[in-house]
């Protein structure tokens, strides 16, 4: 939860914007969110592990019998 402490008349950088709100989230809620975010899967592929190459795909299709 945040409390707005002031309004801006235009967009500003993050460094400036954080001066205009106060985080009032209870500590227990922050810990709960931290645990959830650490176990959250973003769906991004791991580095060096992407789509199979054409050869790998063909080998997989041969193995599973798919055409």
- Yes or no: say if 21 and 2 are a contact pair by the CB < 8 Å rule: yes
Name the pTM for this structure. 0.41
Pairing of strands 2-4, 21-23: antiparallel
State pLDDT tens for residues 56-67: 889 888 888 876
Mean pLDDT (the chain) is 82
18-28 pLDDT, tens per residue?
Answer: 999 998 988 88
Rounded Cα distance, 29 and 36, in Å: 11
pLDDT above 90: percentage of residues in the chain? 34
H or E element at residue 3: strand 2-4
Closest to 23 in 3D by CA, of 38, 40, 42, 3 = 3
Half-sphere exposure of 22 (CA within 13 A, CB side): 5
Instruction: Provide the pLDDT confidence category of residue 48 given band limits of 50, 70 and 90.
Output: low
């Amino acid at each position: 939860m945040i409390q707005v402490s002031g309004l801006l008349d235009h967009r500003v950088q993050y460094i400036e914007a954080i001066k205009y709100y106060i985080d009032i989230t209870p500590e227990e809620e922050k810990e709960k969110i931290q645990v959830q975010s650490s176990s959250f899967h973003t769906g991004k592929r791991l580095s060096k592990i992407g789509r199979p190459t054409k050869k790998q795909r063909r080998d997989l299709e041969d193995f599973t019998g798919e055409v």
